[in-house]
Amino acid sequence: MRCTGIDAFLHMLADAGVNHIFGNPGTTELPLSDALVDDGRFRYVLGLHEVAVMGMADGYAMASGSLGVVNVHISCGLGNSMGMLYNAYRSGTPLLVTAGQQDRRLVFEEPILSSDMVRVAEPWTKWAVQVQRIGDLPSAMRRAIQIALTPPTGPVFLSLPVDLQMEEAELDLTPQPPLDRRVRPPLEALRQAAELLAGAGNPAILVGSRVVEADAIDELVRVAETLGAPVIPESGTTHGRLGFPCRHPLYAGGLPLWSPEVRQRLEDYDELLVVGMDLLRQYVYHEPARAIPEHVRVIHLDEDPYQLGKNYPVEIGLVGDCKAGLAELDELISSAMSPEKQSIAQARMETLGAMHSERRDALLVEAASQRDVRPITALTLMDSLARVLPANAAVVEEAVTTTNTMFERLGALRRPDGFFGHRGWALGWGVGVAMGVRLAWPDRPVLSVLGDGAAMYGIQGLWTAAHERIPVTFVVCNNSQYQILKIGAAGMKLPGALDGRFVGLDLVDPQVDFVALARSLGVRATRVEDPEELSERVADSLAGDEPQLFDVPITRETPDRLNYG
Ligand SMILES: Cc1ncc(C[n+]2csc(CCOP(=O)(O)OP(=O)(O)O)c2C)c(N)n1
C-alpha cells in the first residue's frame, strides 16, 4: 500500500484493535494530529499535561487488558511523562509510547528540543528505538506491539522523525496476528510443587497483581480452598491489583511494610506458594533485611521468569501462565492430599474464616467509635465510601495513609478485578488512571481516592474528565500534608521526625483549594466535612454521568506507624 508514515502507523494500530490514542502534541507530532482530523477509527484523548496522558493510557490498558497508545512531544513531553512511564514499567502495562523526533535533515545541527530520546526511555521500557527508514516502520510497529503484549508485558517506545511521518512510500502493512502467549508450566515441576504443598504442615499463599492480569482469581480461590491456606496480598504500598476476593474467608490481609514485621507474619508457615508477584518490593530498609524466614520453602508460579528466585531462592520455580498453572496445580494437589490432610485443610479454613470475620467486625466497631470525631478520620472517610460502593465499581487508590487497605479489610470490594493500586509510586497517577479505567469500562462506576499530595501531581487531568465527560468520582483525602513521609521519617528514626518536627512535608499556608481548582478545570466540586453527606453525595455521583470531585478534610494527626491488617 502506498501511504505516508503516519498513515501506516494508524493503519497498523487500527489492525491491532486500537481505538484510543492518548496524547499531547507539539510541532513534531502535528502529522498525527492532522491525520486524525478525518479518521473516524480513533478517539484522540487530549491531556493538558503528560502525567495525565500517560496515566490515562496506563489505566485504559490495565482495565482493557489491551495495548495503550500514547503520543507525547519530543524530549520535554517525554520527560514530563517519565514518572508515569516508570509506574507502567513496574506494573508491566502494555503501552506503545511514541514521540515525534526532529526532521532527520536537521538533527545534526542540534535543532530545538532534539535529543536522544531512546536513551531516555530505555531504562523503563522493554524496547526503545528510533525508526530511521520508512521501510522499517511496519516491522517496527509489529515488533513494538508484540513485545509490549508478550509476558512479561510492558511499555515500549518508538521515536518517529517528523519527516518520516510525512514521507510517502510503498509499504507492506500486513499485521502480525496476536499470539496466544499463555505458556503452561512444565508438568514435572507442577507435580513436585503439588507434592510439597499437599504435604505441608502449615501453607500460605502470597498473591500478586499478575493473578488478576492472567484472569486467574477463580483458579487461585480453588487452590486456596483445597489447601485451606490463608491468602496474603502484597503490602498496601505495592499491591497493585487485588488477586483474591477480600470477602473470602481465606483472605488474610496484606503483608506489613517493614521486613521484621513481614518475617514475623510469615514465621509460622512452612510452605509459601507465591503467585504472580514480585517477591518482595520493600519500602524502607530494616534489619533483619531478610523478610522471608529461612525455614520457609518457597514455590513460585509466575509468567515472568526474572521474578523466580530474584531475591529469595525458591524450592520450585514454575515458569508459566498463572491461570493454566493454578488450574493444573489444584487438580494435582487434590489428588496428592491424604484424606487426613483434606480434613485438616477444611478445619483450618473454618478457623481462618472465623478470624477473618472477627477482624472485620473489630474494624467496623473501631469505625463506629470514630464516627463523631471531627475533622473526620481516615477510617471514617473510607467507611463512608465503603458503605455506598456499588458491587461492580472500580476503585483507583492513590492516598496511601488514608486508604491503607481499608476497603479490603472492610470487605467493600466485591469484585476484586476492579481494584487498582500503585506498584510504581510515581505520584500523579490516580487522576489519569481512573479516567483510563472508565474509558475501558464505560459500564462500571469508577471511584478515584486521592491524597491531596498525590492529586497535585496530576490535577491537570481533570480538564480531560470535563472535556470528554468521563464520569469519574474523585475524592481528595485532604490532610494537608505528605503524611506517609512523616511516618517514613519516624520509621527511619530521624531526630527531627522523632521530635514531631518536619520541613517540606506540610501543604499549608496556603492550603490548596481543590474545589476552586477543580471548577476552574470544568469539574463540579464540593467540600464535604460530614460522613453521612459524603456517603450520599458519592453514591449519587457514582450513579451519575459526569465527573465530580469531593474535597474531604481529614484529621492531620499522624500515627507513628501504618497498621496494615
Ligand atoms: C512524583 C513524586 N514526587 C514525590 C514523591 C515522594 N512522595 C511519596 S509519598 C508522598 C506524599 C503523598 O502525600 P499524599 O498523597 O497527600 O498522601 P498521604 O501520605 O498524606 O496519605 C510524596 C511526596 C513521589 N512518590 N512521587
Residue 550 pLDDT grade (very low, low, confident, very high; cuts 50, 70, 90) = very high
- Residue 565, pLDDT > 60, answer no
Residue 563 pLDDT grade (very low, low, confident, very high; cuts 50, 70, 90) = low
> What value does the mean pLDDT take over residues 178-200?
95
Count Cα atoms within 13 angstroms, Cβ side, for 259: 15
- Residue 235, pLDDT > 90, answer no
Under 8 Å CB-to-CB from 139, ≥6 apart: which residues?
none
Q: Is the CB of 147 under 6 A from ligand 1?
A: no
CA distances from 201 to 223, 229, 272, 343, 404 (A): 16, 10, 11, 13, 31
pTM over 0.85: yes
Which amino acid, one-letter code, is at 478? N
Q: Is the CB of 427 under 6 A from ligand 1?
A: yes
Hey, CA dihedral for 516, 517, 519, 520, is it positive or negative? positive
Best of 398, 423, 427 for a ligand 1 pocket test (most atoms within 8 Å of beta carbon): 427
Best of 51, 484, 508, 557 for a ligand 1 pocket test (most atoms within 8 Å of beta carbon): 484
- Residue 70, pLDDT > 80, answer yes
Q: Is the CB of 416 under 6 A from ligand 1?
A: no
Q: Is the CB of 452 under 6 A from ligand 1?
A: yes
Q: Is the CB of 166 under 6 A from ligand 1?
A: no
Instruction: Tell me the longest C-alpha to C-alpha distance in the chain.
Output: 77
Q: Residue holding cell 490535577?
A: 459
Q: Atom 18, ligand 1: which residue's CA is nearest?
A: 483
Q: Is the CB of 454 under 6 A from ligand 1?
A: yes
Nearest 5 degrees, angle CA 54-CA 55-CA 56?
A: 90
Report the candidate in 217, 200, 243 with the shortest Cα–Cα distance to residue 348: 200
CA–CA gap between residue 286 and residue 260 (Å, rounded):
7
> What value does the mean pLDDT take over residues 374-378?
96
Which amino acid, one-letter code, is at 265? R
Q: What is the CATH code for 370-553?
A: 3.40.50.970
Spacing, Cα 452 to ligand 1 middle (Å): 9
For CATH 3.40.50.970, the residue range(s) in the chain are 2-170, 370-553
> What value does the mean pLDDT take over residues 228-234?
96
Spacing, Cα 454 to ligand 1 middle (Å): 5
- Bridge partners, residue 20, by sequence: 43
Q: Is 375:426 a contact under the CB 8 Å cutoff?
A: no
> What value does the mean pLDDT take over residues 402-412?
93
What HEC string does 40-75 produce? Answer: CCCEEEECCCHHHHHHHHHHHHHHHCCCEEEEECCC
Question: Residue 283 has which C-alpha cell?
Answer: 519500602
Query: To the nearest whole number, what is the mean pLDDT of the chain?
Result: 96
CA–CA gap between residue 430 and residue 433 (Å, rounded):
5
CA–CA gap between residue 50 and residue 464 (Å, rounded):
12
CA–CA gap between residue 166 and residue 171 (Å, rounded):
14
CA–CA gap between residue 191 and residue 380 (Å, rounded):
47
83 burial type by CB count under 10 A (0-12 exposed, 13-18 middle, 19+ buried): buried
Q: Is the CB of 558 under 6 A from ligand 1?
A: no
Alpha helices for 123-208 (secondary structure H): 137-149, 162-166, 187-198
pLDDT at position 285 is 87
Q: Is 284:491 a contact under the CB 8 Å cutoff?
A: yes
DSSP sequence for 306-345: GGTTSSS--SEEEES-HHHHHHHHHHHHHHHS-HHHHHHH
Query: Which atom of ligand 1 is nearest to 487's Cα?
Result: 19
pLDDT tens digits for 494-512?
Answer: 999 999 999 999 999 999 9
Residue 134 pLDDT grade (very low, low, confident, very high; cuts 50, 70, 90) = very high
Percent of the chain with pLDDT strictly greater than 70? 99
Q: Residue holding cell 500514547?
A: 70
Under 8 Å CB-to-CB from 201, ≥6 apart: which residues?
270
Alpha carbon 396 to chain centroid, angstroms = 8
Residue 286 pLDDT grade (very low, low, confident, very high; cuts 50, 70, 90) = confident
CA–CA gap between residue 196 and residue 213 (Å, rounded):
26
Q: Is 430:458 a contact under the CB 8 Å cutoff?
A: yes
- Residue 239, pLDDT > 90, answer no
Spacing, Cα 51 to ligand 1 middle (Å): 15
Report the candidate in 399, 389, 518, 534 with the shortest Cα–Cα distance to residue 465: 518
Query: Which atom of ligand 1 is nearest to 451's Cα?
Result: 15
Percent of the chain with pLDDT strictly greater than 90? 93
Cβ neighbours around 372 below 10 Å, total: 9
- Bridge partners, residue 170, by sequence: 2
Nearest 5 degrees, angle CA 384-CA 382-CA 49?
A: 115
Phi, psi of 359 (to 5 degrees): -60, -45
367 burial type by CB count under 10 A (0-12 exposed, 13-18 middle, 19+ buried): buried
> What value does the mean pLDDT take over residues 324-353?
97
> What value does the mean pLDDT take over residues 182-196?
97
- Residue 171, pLDDT > 80, answer yes
Q: Atom 4, ligand 1: which residue's CA is nearest?
A: 427
C-alpha R_g of the chain:
24
pLDDT at position 564 is 58
pLDDT at position 562 is 67
Question: Residue 333 has which C-alpha cell?
Answer: 494437589
Report the candidate in 313, 431, 363 with the shortest Cα–Cα distance to residue 50: 431
Best of 482, 492, 502, 558 for a ligand 1 pocket test (most atoms within 8 Å of beta carbon): 482
Query: Which atom of ligand 1 is nearest to 481's Cα?
Result: 20
Q: Is 158:138 a contact under the CB 8 Å cutoff?
A: no
Q: Is 205:232 a contact under the CB 8 Å cutoff?
A: yes
Best of 281, 400, 477 for a ligand 1 pocket test (most atoms within 8 Å of beta carbon): 400
Question: Residue 363 has which C-alpha cell?
Answer: 474494624
- Residue 238, pLDDT > 80, answer no
Q: What is the CATH code for 2-170?
A: 3.40.50.970
- Residue 173, pLDDT > 70, answer yes
CA–CA gap between residue 398 and residue 404 (Å, rounded):
10
Spacing, Cα 371 to ligand 1 middle (Å): 27
Q: Is 193:223 a contact under the CB 8 Å cutoff?
A: no
pLDDT at position 558 is 80
* CATH architecture assignment, domain 187-354: 3-Layer(aba) Sandwich (3.40)
Alpha helices for 337-410 (secondary structure H): 339-369, 378-386, 400-403, 406-410
pLDDT tens digits for 417-470?
Answer: 999 999 999 999 999 999 999 999 999 999 999 999 999 999 999 999 999 999
Question: Residue 134 has which C-alpha cell?
Answer: 520508512
- Residue 245, pLDDT > 60, answer yes
Q: Atom 11, ligand 1: which residue's CA is nearest?
A: 482
Q: Is 325:318 a contact under the CB 8 Å cutoff?
A: yes
